[in-house]
Structure 1
Amino acid sequence: MSVPTADDEAPVADGGDTLLGSVPDPAGALNTTGRQLLAELVSIPSPSSEEADAVAHLAGFFAEHGREAFVDDAGNLHAPGDDSVLLTSHIDTVPGEIPVRVEDGDSELGVPGPVLWGRGSVDATGPLAAMAVVAVETGASFVGVVGEETDSRGALHLIENREAPETVINGEPSGWDAISLGYRGIVGAEYTSSTPAGHSSRPESNAIDHATAWWERVRAAVADENGDAEPGGFDTITATTESMAGGLTDDGSAVAASMSARFRVPPSATPDSVRALVESCLDEGTLSWGASIPPHVASPRGPLPAALRKGIRAAGGEPTHLHKTGTADSNLYADAWGVPVVTYGPGDADLDHAPDERLPLAAFDRAVSVLTTACEQLID
């Protein structure tokens, strides 16, 4: 086992004042250390690039419990411990305000008892808070990373500057009784085209026509590649436009068009093979590619998933394994470090980024119990 050091990092000792007074909790459900930390972190807005306040509060939590904490150059929060297992989740959320409150019961989710509403309660402040509590309880290593919802800059900095742990549990919502073994990869592209300006009565295609025609060819090629598989499934490529712009340039001399697109990469493909497929559709215009994340599928065998399954059974559940169609930092850790990596955390992933994001507190409690049992198994 190795324990990372922080010789060149600045320690962080102070967190903010408690935020619980601002969270409506008529039944007094925020009555454990974990629930309190969860509610406090959800109450601190932390969209990507604005995580500093949440980082400081989380650092204060570790300091209060006698654990060293430091912030690296990317803004990640480290609480070094036993590297038999690294517990890591992301601190940032997507933008959006959801009034933070505790409500009793939820008929839509079909659960009794208190439910915490708020941005990040599911993705991924719930897993993050559970892991922080368990790291304090068990002595496991912990890192809260920044930027996962945008460019994974926190995870990329981590793998470039930290020694590999023995195993990794990455915090994302799987449901307290499920383990996520696989995620698709992702690669992003930027298409640009420009044509001379001309009268709209002329028959020649302009840059906007080229862009839309290219995208139709891409969609057709992706459909052919996927064959009879269900669209959007784990074993398919998914092509999605993120933005598109077009029109006369400011000087009126040309028509310009641009499009930003993302492609999800299944385990049967690679970022390079998807790039080649998309580039084969290019007739006019140019493509530039951003950074990519490869797909990852973990084995259900071995001590890591077995420890989580034991924890789920001990908490009264029957474990299931998931393959998810999105992309997570776990893919980067597995690719760079070559160690066992799985993803786990409380919450219904259907509520990721949703305007009604919320987490039953009983599910959070069970996830803390599951992670505690798992870490005790993994730490010698």
Structure 2
Amino acid sequence: MPELDLTATSVDLTRAICDIPSVSGQETPLADAIFRAVSALDHLDVYRDGDTIVARTRLGRAQRVAIAGHIDTVPINDNLPTRDIEIDGEPYLWGRGTVDMKGGTAVQLRLAAELVAPRVDITWLWYDNEEVDADLNGLARLARSRPDLFEADFAILGEPSNGQVEGGCNGTLRVVARTHGVRAHSARAWMGENAIHRAAPILARLAEYRPREVAVDGLVYRESLNAVRISGGVAGNVIPDRCDVEINYRFAPSRTLEQAAEHVRAVLEGFEVEVVDGAAGARPGLDAPLAQEFLAAVGAEQRPKYGWTDVARFAALGVPAVNYGPGDPSLAHHDEERVPYAQIEDVERGLRAWLSAR
């Protein structure tokens, strides 16, 4: 039964929680360890929903901040246990989860134990199933069952941001563009109509598409529209009667989910288009007074978040939210996932400075 020492350094704590494998859907051993560790802290009220753990201070402060991190990872690919490496003389921790996002979660756990009397009340949230379908997401589940636990004046997600502050996030939409044909024996192809061939104009439109760069509240978000999967056909000697092209649209937070779907339908006019999944983005939220205080205290550069993160869940509830965590987002999910010690330590210092200031 793994145990966590919350007095360890954030680097050592990152190593410890990475070495407890927690691929999405298999988070229970790590969730159990976190629950045992934070339940021993008298200054926190602790609540558990499945493999999501919530710990709250109860100091009666005028403001409350929510600080969240997911505890799951994408599948392991011979990159656990973690190991220490050096690149150009700089120490790194290598292994699955070091970037996405157990470095940020480790910082949060250490500070949750240390900060008995922070300047604001804090709701710490560590949740499961972030890396898979949205309907499994522990934070989404909690928002449905206990929305009161999301009440806050500001929120921080520990997603990897190279130790800088990434405001808001792009939205994401998945659609399937579908073509139909008529089956026939491939030796008598003229008797059928090839659905895969009919999908060629869809791919051509996507290849010719020029995505926007959109300024939202002072930050510029890059969009993208791409085919990510294609399927069709039933056998090697049959003309296919159906072809599905799965398409992912990453859109600036200036658009709603409905507007994003309308845009994709317009690009693919004339084709059958089915929306299969989507999540709205979040505006930066950096104009909130607490956000400005946070930026000043941590001394970080503000940037847009190109990917989707759970800041959008807070934004949907009217809580301005940012991403702030160690690790290079381009190494998230990478087989060479690794994080510099210095970024973990810098994020810890930044959060501590802000949460401890009077």
> Residues 295 and 218 from structure 1, CA distance in 2 versus in 1: closer, same or farther, beyond 3 angstroms?
farther
The equivalences for 1:349-364 within 5 A come to: 349-364=329-344
Per-residue CA distance 1:109-154 (angstroms, 9 max, x = gap): xx53x32111111111111111111122225321112222223422
**CA–CA distance in structure 2, aligned partners of residues 282 and 303 of structure 1:** 44
Partner residue, 2:119: none
Give a deviation string over 1:236-285, Cα, whole Å, max 9, x none. 43112332211137996962222322110113433222211222314244
Distance 1:359 1:155, change over 3 A: same
Distance 2:236 2:85 in 1: 56
Partner of 1:154: 138
Query: Kindly, what percent of the aligned residue pairs are identical?
Result: 23
* 3-state SS in 1 of match to 2:190: coil
Q: Distance in 1 between matches of 2:273 and 2:236?
A: 21
CA contact (8 A) 1:85 1:375 kept: no
1:70 CA displacement: 3.2
2:331 aligned partner, one-letter code: L
Instruction: Indicate the residue corresponding to 1:77 in structure 2.
Output: 53
Number of equivalent positions: 336
Counterpart position of 1:342: 322
| Contact persistence 1:135–1:141 (CA under 8 A) | no
- What is the DSSP-based 3-state SS (H/G/I as helix, E as strand, rest coil) of the residue aligned with 1:122? helix
Say whether 1:17 aligns with 2:2: yes
Distance in structure 2 (CA, Å) of the matches to 1:227 and 1:171 = 25
The aligned residue for residue 269 of structure 1 is 255
Question: Which residue, 225, 245, 262 being the options, matches 1:259?
Answer: 245
Q: Does 1:217 align with 2:219?
A: no
Looking at structure 1, the residues matched to 95 and 249 of structure 2 have their Cα atoms a distance apart, in angstroms, of: 29
The answer on 1:96 being equivalent to 2:81 is: no
User: 1:166 and 2:153 equivalent?
Assistant: yes
2:283 corresponding residue in structure 1: 296
- Aligned-partner Cα distance in 2 for 1:41–1:228: 38
Deviation at 1:155, TM superposition (A): 2.4
Q: Which amino acid aligns with 1:117?
A: W
| Paired position in structure 1 for 2:311 | 330
2-structure distance, mates of 1:158, 1:359? 29
Report the more deviating stretch, 237-246 or 178-187: 237-246
1:41 offset after TM fit, Å? 0.9
Q: Which moved more, 1:75-84 or 1:121-130?
A: 75-84
Letter in 2 for 1:17: P
Measured after TM superposition, the shift of residue 59 of structure 1 is 1.4
- What does residue 4 of structure 1 align with? none
Q: Which residue does the alignment assign to 1:55?
A: 31
SS at 1:159 equivalent = helix
Q: Which amino acid aligns with 1:187?
A: L
Is the CA contact 1:182–1:322 (under 8 Å) kept in the aligned structure 2?
no
1:165–1:182 CA distance, 2 compared to 1 (3 A): closer
| Change in 2 beyond 3 A, CA 1:103/1:304 | same
User: Counterpart in 2 of 1:202?
Assistant: 190
Q: Residues 85-111 of structure 1: CA distance to partner in whole angstroms, max 9, x if unpaired?
A: 11101111122331333425322xxx5
SS of alignment partner, residue 248 of structure 1? coil
Please tell me whether the aligned partners of residues 192 and 239 of structure 2 are also in contact (alpha carbons under 8 angstroms).
no
Counterpart of 1:124 in structure 2 is: 101
Paired residue secondary structure (1:142): strand
Q: 1:173-188 alignment to 2 at 5 Å?
A: 173-176=160-163, 178-188=164-174
Structure 2 residues not aligned, in runs of 5+: 117-121
Residue equivalent to 1:193: 179
| Aligned-partner residue type, residue 87 of structure 1 | I
Q: Distance in 2 between matches of 1:249 and 1:340?
A: 51
Secondary structure of 1:100's partner? Answer: coil
Amino acid in structure 2 at the alignment position of 1:119: R
What amino acid sits opposite 2:234 in the alignment? Answer: L
Alpha-carbon RMSD: 3.1
Q: 1:18–1:156: structure 2 CA closer, same or farther, 3 Å change rule?
A: closer
**Aligned mates of 1:144, 1:290 — CA distance in 2:** 24
User: What is the SS of the residue equivalent to 1:297?
Assistant: coil
How many angstroms apart in 1 are the aligned matches of 2:222 and 2:156?
Answer: 25
The separation in 1 between residues aligned to 2:235 and 2:276, in whole angstroms, is 24
SS of corresponding position for 2:26: coil
SS in 1 for 2:259: helix
TM-score by length of 2: 0.83
SS of match in other structure, 2:241: strand
For the residues of structure 2 that align with 1:105 and 1:227, how far apart are their CA atoms?
A: 37
Find 1:135's aligned residue among 72, 89, 112: 112
For structure 1, list consecutive stretches of 5 or more residues without a partner in the other structure. 1-15, 21-29, 313-318
Amino acid aligned to 2:202:
W
Shift of 1:372: 1.4
